[in-house]
Amino acid sequence: MSGDAFTYSRAADLAEALAAGAAPGAAFLAGGTDLTPLWKARAARPDHVVDISRLPLAQIEATSAGLTLGALAKLSDVAADPAVRRDYPLVAEAIRASASGQVRNMASLGGALLQRTRCAYFRDAAMACNKREPGSGCGALAGENRGAAIFGASEACVATHPSDVAVALAALDAQVEIAGPKGTRRIALADLHREPGDTPEIDTTLAHGEVVTRIEVPAAPAWRATYLKVRDRASFEFAVISVAAALEIANGRIVQARLCAGGVAPKPWRLTAAEAALAGHAPTLDVFAEAADLAVQGARPLAHNGFKIDLLRRAVARALATVGGAA
Amino acid sequence: MPDAGRVEIRLTLNGEPRQIAVAPFDTLLDVLRDQVGLTGVKKGCDMGACGACTVLADGRRIKACLALAASYDGRAITTIEGIGSPEALHPLQAAFVRHDALQCGYCTPGQILSALALIEEGVADREAIREGLSGNLCRCGAHPAIVEAVAEVAGL
Amino acid sequence: MSVLESPVRLEAALKATGRAVYEAETPMAGMLHAALVEAPIANGRVTAVDGAAARGLPGFADLVSYAEAEALKPSGTVALIREPQIHFAAQPVALVVAETLQQAEACARAVKLELAAEPAVTAIDQALERAYAPELVGRYPAATRRGDAEAALSEAHLVVRQRYETAVNNHHPMEPHSMVCAWEGDRVVVHTGTQATFATQRVIAHAFQIPVDHVRVVSRFMGGGFGCKGPLWWPWMIWALQASRRTGRPVRLELTRAQLFHLVGRRQETVQDLAIGLDAEGRLSAIDHAVLAQTATHGEFCDSTARATRWLYACPNVTTSHRLVATNEPLPIPMRAPGVAPGTFALESALDEAAHALGLDPVELRVRNYADRDLDAEKPWSSNGLLECYRIGAERFGWSARPAAGTARDGRWAIGWGMASSVYGVHRQPCNVKVRLEVDAGVLVQCGTQDFGQGAYTAIGQLAAEGLGLSMEKVRVELGDTDLPEGPYTGGSMVTASFTPPTEEAVGAIRTRLAALARADAASPLAGADDLVFEDGLVRSRARNAAESVAELMARLAPDGLEAEAFAALPDSVDYSANAYGAIFVEVGVDPDLGEIRVRRVGAAFAAGRILNPLLARSQYVGGLIGGIGMALHERVATDRASGRIVGETFADYLIPVHADMPDFDIAMVDEVDPLLPGGVKGIGMLGSAGVQAAIANAVFHAVGRRVRHLPIRIEDVIG
């Protein structure tokens, strides 16, 4: 399969990449695991592809301040890194739960954060999809929406963000460094993706021509963390839902909690009410159940995805029990 | 503006240097199959979801249908043709034959290359093989025999 | 012969090294690439195909649509490409050929269509009032009635009356449908993976009105089929052939994975209303099995879903029926264990419900209902190994230690055990086979039938090797070519059953001739011997304690080689009913909180007559069971009701089992000699794909008490 012809250039350095990427119709290519199939399906239609895969942005550095990951680090390298495995196991776990060995060897971390929705209406050029073709309608809203969002969706778009690692990174309060024609800026990963509102064609707060260069994870306290991914088959499937859960427990009390859900929203969905309810309490099943109830507050089901509400509640309780030692 | 025409790339293909002119949008899969004639690389889904097109790039397994050929300029690519021949089977190929780890054979080259890389990555047990090969679909249902063949060669 | 003693797959080394050339990989100089233009509507007609913009694009070579296809001879096969009607969403309305695939696809996108859309029926529940009964389901009557099921149900001790539903599935061989062709005058060679090499030859000859022997179809290697590489591939292939003929250049057409969802058939969805009545001891007194299924507006297809219900068990009162609703959706065709896979899901689930209600062991319930003859046809069985399958299967699985329902746990998993019967009919087709013994004692076996992975190369080669006492290294097999003697299409688990009798006959003829030559040769130590046997590369007389190698004999007595061709026809009728049987035992783990279901263990015992190669047979059984696991837990084609389009035409959306889903398999092949069947072969390809779905559903119930009566069984069914 193929889309329309495009031109290709390989950027020698970041400045060259930003210059080339600023042109209208230009798209950045890193691992290609998302852009290539999107191009084939005509859900991405670049005129020009700027290959940034060889820019020196693949570092994996752990210091006492935290973890710095180059946006072009391959998922497999991040997951295999000894420091990541030792100090940020949640990240390694989420990566290992995602895609396949081949894809993890190709996909960059930055690309994983920026991958577009798996909504089938988006990826079929003949379907109605406001994200792909603004104004064409949302086929999923009243259609096959088992996989659709229960949080953060709009009438215009009910798609979910598919990344596993983004869920783990968001739970760990990761920051994202962004370079663009106007300079470099840093934002919280939580602010990278946006809710669709009336403009679902815009996935993120990146401006055209901006590129993610670095992901920084603050040094973690003694998190006890787990990434729970629920799916229909045992491997190689996007999450039906997932939960990243991390607890800091001291003296029999939860000092702080982090909960983030995947597969439920257009972005990694932090469950802040549940987090707040956990802090200061003993890690008991009752406390976890209460947090799990709070986690699904405000969820809005469609015709075929209502089960995700109950599933999320159960998954939050399970993940907390796993890390809280109260299972 | 960049040149809209073809891009010259150099690959080390199964150990042999090759210079190939590709279109900017050609995938590594299409270049290997149609331009080079390495048809052991299979096109099963062309969307990165089946693994039939698995090749090794500098020894690491990738899906050739997701790779733009232009982006792999300078890399060493190994296809099934570079692993062994019917007269001189690689031990893993021989194990596939012995265990009847294939039926229609269309996913087989990808399974074997994926498994070779997986063994290099390190596998501790059969469960790890199963998880590690899950990116390679098989529709005939040769999975258990594939895992036995890989386990044998991995020394499990 | 054991699994360990079995010859390995004859072509395995070619496949494992990437040297097996799948047909569309055949190099063709000057080849054009084809792409299909798909209609955006689900019902209506094309009023104009405007190719002007496409013709102006780089690489464009030709366009064929229904207008150009009018040059083809009309037939049911070409109707879809010869007429402007649109019956289902994404139906191709034209084919474009260009210098490269990317150019062909760009040209296809540039074709402008004028369309007259009409309201579409995109689901069977939109047109239930139009349901009708087909005349036949396959080769069988659509409706049957034995005794009075209604009356018996009203008097039964226990009635289980439920609705069971199965989803649309797609076959998805790993190799998409593809072909290359080259014309020379009015002769054409077509390389394509097809399950019906000879029928493909004939439809091409008919469409182009050329003699059949001007068409050569080659199908030596094929990346799977499972039922979909047959008639529904023909229209698109013929369009490509037409473009090739018009341009005078070879053409390659490869379907995309997405097109396999809507162009080449599907397992039809079923809604089955089933009522069974039993007495207090669990003996069936009545069955009423009514099947509703989807077909297309441009063709009729109906699986014989309720057929096995008619005779699988001893039940005096049985009513079965099939009805269809024609929708603007793709046409179904047979897929792995057609009919019996969805049909046994209903029947074997209902039996489990009955066993549970009666407090009976599910195996014992089935034993009590064993049919000692075919009550539907009123014929004896040729053989029926079902009781042995239950016994051996249960013993190997450890069934007697089945835990009480809902009590077994392993960490987060609730453990459940379930079982079901499997069955598939024995079928055969006429078949020609040619065997040639070369002067060097090499054997060449030729049959035009094809191997899509089931092991035909190996099995037919083994018959020749064993019959002549030679090793497999001496055997060469040629299949998949209309230049070879005509053999059967691949389907209904019947290829091995079809080629075994003529192969053995041809081999026997060669053996007889060589033995006669040896006996008549005064120079041979075997002269005059009347007890000649062929083994270990020798012809041997035990009485004489003498032997001579086949190669020596051939060099001296038949330097031009010996050749024999045999044909096995079908009898007009037989006075028995023949089926292969199985008993399938499954252990599942169900996470009751998260709804995840994993099959952990499958133990299956099969009685399917003579097994030529246990190694390959095991692969077939395991492969079939894995297909059944997919149907049970993963596979569902979803249709967008608004547009009629299939939602998610990728392997990321349509899930099939992956390595990580694999349970442990234990396959028992029950010894079974069936003297009534020619060659003693029953066929095994389908047997693993039936029964296992119900066994899984029954195991899920056993684990968590949740009776799921539709497939696939997913997370929401467990926690909902």
For C512-568, the pLDDT digits (tens) are 999 999 999 999 999 999 999 999 999 999 999 999 999 999 999 999 999 999 999
Say how far apart CA A86 and CA A69 lie, in whole Å.
Answer: 15
The model's pTM? 0.98
Per-residue confidence (pLDDT) for residue A327, from 0 to 100: 41
- Say whether C367 sits in a helix, a strand or coil: helix
Q: H or E segment at C61?
A: strand C60-65
Q: Is A231 on the interface with C (CB under 8 A)?
A: yes
Chain A, nearest residue to B131 by Cα: A235
List the structure tokens of C151: 């009356």
Per-residue confidence (pLDDT) for residue B1, from 0 to 100: 35
Q: Is C411 on the interface with B (CB under 8 A)?
A: no
Say how far apart CA B38 and CA C27 lie, in whole Å.
Answer: 11
Contact B60 A37 (CB under 8 A): no
**Which of C593, C645, C658 faces A234 most closely, judged by CB atoms?**
C658
CA distances from C463 to C467, C470, C472, C576, C608 (A): 6, 10, 10, 26, 18
In this structure, chain B runs to a length of 156
Per-residue confidence (pLDDT) for residue C5, from 0 to 100: 92
Q: H or E segment at A230?
A: strand A224-230
Full DSSP string of C656-698: ---GGG--EEEEEE-----TTSGGGB---TTGGGSSHHHHHHH
Beta bridge partners of C313: C370
Residues 6+ apart with CB under 8 A from C279: C156, C157, C158, C285
pLDDT above 90 as % of chain B: 97
Chain C, nearest residue to B143 by Cα: C659
Using an 8 Å Cβ cutoff, are B67 and B29 in contact?
yes
Contact A106 B131 (CB under 8 A): no
Q: Quick one: which of C668, C608, C618, C585 has its CA closest to B144? A: C618
Mean pLDDT of all residues in C404-427: 97
Per-residue confidence (pLDDT) for residue C505, from 0 to 100: 98
CA distances from A266 to A110, A120, A142, A306 (A): 17, 14, 18, 16
Tell me the backbone φ, ψ of residue A123, rounded to 5 degrees: -90, 10
Chains in contact with B via at least 3 Cβ–Cβ pairs below 8 Å: A, C
**Which of C641, C658, C719 faces A233 most closely, judged by CB atoms?**
C658
Q: Is C4 on the interface with B (CB under 8 A)?
A: no
Contacts of C639 in chain A (CB under 8 A): 144
Full DSSP string of C494-533: -HHHHHHHHHHHHHHHHHHHHHHHHHT-TTSTTTT-S-EE
Q: Is C501 on the interface with A (CB under 8 A)?
A: no
Q: pLDDT tier at B5 (50, 70, 90 boundaries)?
A: confident
Q: pLDDT tier at B2 (50, 70, 90 boundaries)?
A: very low
Say how far apart CA B10 and CA B4 lie, in whole Å.
Answer: 19
pLDDT, tens digit (0-9, with 9 covering 90-100), for B21-64: 999 999 999 999 999 999 999 999 999 999 999 999 999 999 99
Residue to test with chain B: of C17, C479, C611, most B Cβ within 10 A: C17
Residue-level pLDDT, tens digit, chain A, 327 residues: 899 999 999 999 999 999 999 999 999 999 999 999 999 999 999 999 999 999 999 999 999 999 999 999 999 999 999 999 999 999 999 999 999 999 999 999 999 999 999 999 999 999 999 999 999 999 999 999 999 999 999 999 999 999 999 999 999 999 999 999 999 999 999 999 999 999 999 999 999 999 999 999 999 778 999 999 999 999 999 999 999 999 999 999 999 999 999 999 999 999 999 999 999 999 999 999 999 999 999 999 999 999 999 999 999 999 999 999 754
Q: Is B34 on the interface with A (CB under 8 A)?
A: no
List the structure tokens of C677: 């069947």
Using an 8 Å Cβ cutoff, are C122 and C329 in contact?
yes
Q: Is A126 on the interface with B (CB under 8 A)?
A: no
List the structure tokens of C636: 């569902």
Say if residue C712 is preceded by a cis peptide, omega within 30 of 0: yes
Q: pLDDT tier at C497 (50, 70, 90 boundaries)?
A: very high
Q: Quick one: which of C613, C438, C490 has its CA closest to C194? A: C490
Q: Across chain A, how many H-helices and E-strands are there?
A: 11, 12
Work out the widest C-alpha separation in chain C, in whole angstroms.
Answer: 85
Contacts of A231 in chain C (CB under 8 A): 596
CA distances from A193 to A163, C292, C535 (A): 11, 46, 74
Chain A, nearest residue to C40 by Cα: A126
Window A:147-186, CB contacts with C under 8 Å: none
Identity of the residue numbered C487: G
Per-residue confidence (pLDDT) for residue A25, from 0 to 100: 97
pLDDT, tens digit (0-9, with 9 covering 90-100), for C575-598: 999 999 999 999 999 999 999 999
Say how far apart CA C132 and CA B49 lie, in whole Å.
Answer: 39
Per-residue confidence (pLDDT) for residue A325, from 0 to 100: 79
**Which of C106, C594, C634 faces A233 most closely, judged by CB atoms?**
C634
Q: Is A101 on the interface with C (CB under 8 A)?
A: no
Q: Give the minimum alpha-carbon distance from B148 to chain A in angstroms, rounded to a whole number.
A: 19
Residues 6+ apart with CB under 8 A from C531: C541, C542, C543
E strands in C220-378: 251-254, 270-278, 284-296, 318-327
Q: Give the minimum alpha-carbon distance from C571 to chain B in angstroms, rounded to a whole number.
A: 32
Per-residue confidence (pLDDT) for residue C238, from 0 to 100: 98
Work out the widest C-alpha separation in chain A, in whole angstroms.
Answer: 62
Average pLDDT of chain C to the nearest whole number:
97
Contact B4 A2 (CB under 8 A): no
Q: Is A232 on the interface with C (CB under 8 A)?
A: yes
Beta bridge partners of C291: C272, C322
Full DSSP string of B98-137: HTT--SS-SSHHHHHHHHHHHHHH---SHHHHHHHTTTS-
Chains B and C form CB pairs within 8 A to the count of: 176
Contact C257 B47 (CB under 8 A): yes
Say how far apart CA A285 and CA A315 lie, in whole Å.
Answer: 13
Q: Is B60 on the interface with A (CB under 8 A)?
A: yes
Per-residue confidence (pLDDT) for residue C384, from 0 to 100: 98
Say how far apart CA C682 and CA C655 lie, in whole Å.
Answer: 32
Alpha carbon distance, N-terminus to C-terminus of chain C: 49
Using an 8 Å Cβ cutoff, are C103 and C33 in contact?
yes
Q: In the predicted model, is pLDDT for residue B127 greater than 80?
A: yes
Contacts of C101 in chain A (CB under 8 A): 2
Cα four-point dihedral sign A136, A138, A142, A146: positive
Contact A29 B67 (CB under 8 A): no
pLDDT above 70 as % of chain C: 100
Beta bridge partners of C606: C582, C669
Say how far apart CA C446 and CA C434 lie, in whole Å.
Answer: 5
Give the sheet arrangement for strand C538-541, strand by strand: C532-535, C538-541, C546-549
Mean pLDDT of all residues in C673-689: 95
**Which of B46, B63, B71 faces A53 most closely, judged by CB atoms?**
B71
pLDDT, tens digit (0-9, with 9 covering 90-100), for C110-139: 999 999 999 999 999 999 999 999 999 999
